Amino acid sequence: MKAIFIKNPFKRLQKGAVAALCIISAVMLILAGSYSCKNDPAEAILGKWELIEQGTFENEMRIVEPNGEYTEYLSGGIFLTFIPFEDRSYYSIYRIDKKYIYHYHKNIAVCMCYRYEITKDGHLKMTFERGDNIPIHMYPSMMYNKIELYQPKN
């Protein structure tokens, strides 16, 4: 029986080609590792958000003074709204895709749909689109500032 030897494919490559291959591989690994959660809306939305502006139209926004109230998006589609003067949090369910975020308020049987955008400066901009069983949203345009990143519990 004749022995079969597999030749080394790098033997014929010159040193420069091997170096170029190593550099290209390193760049590809760096680019793959630089994927940001900002590219994934389900990850980017996680954390505590404080309302900083609201208005009837996007061009008629007014600044909102912080009062301790915040909305926190948790993994698994749960969000809570903390109301400081009641010292209470209200839990609800959300779903998010690339264009809309849907709030399902189980205690009042309402689904509200918002068009959203995470701006270049990291704010969450939401515009009310439609809702079930509600007349007109008082402030259809809102801007939130992230006040705390989401930290999953171990």
Q: Is residue 45 part of a domain?
A: yes
Q: Where are the beta strands (DSSP E) in 40-149?
A: 47-55, 61-63, 70-74, 78-83, 88-96, 100-105, 110-118, 124-131, 141-149
Lowest mean pLDDT among 39-43, 75-79, 81-85, 141-145: 39-43
Predicted TM-score (pTM) of this structure: 0.65
Check residue 108 and give its pLDDT.
Answer: 63
Domain containing residue 134: CATH number: 2.40.128.490
Domain containing residue 102: 37-149
Which amino acid is present at 69?
E
Q: Is residue 107 part of a domain?
A: yes
pLDDT, one tens digit per residue, over 40-53 is 888 999 999 999 99
Lowest mean pLDDT among 12-21, 102-111, 132-141: 12-21
Question: Which is nearest to 139 in space by CA: 74, 56, 82, 64?
Answer: 56
Residue 6 per-residue DSSP state: P
Q: Is residue 9 part of a domain?
A: no
Check residue 61 and give its pLDDT.
Answer: 86
How many structural domains is the chain composed of?
1
> Average pLDDT of 72-76?
93
Q: Is residue 115 part of a domain?
A: yes
Q: Is residue 8 part of a domain?
A: no
pLDDT, one tens digit per residue, over 4-32 is 655 655 555 555 555 554 454 544 444 44
Q: Is residue 44 part of a domain?
A: yes
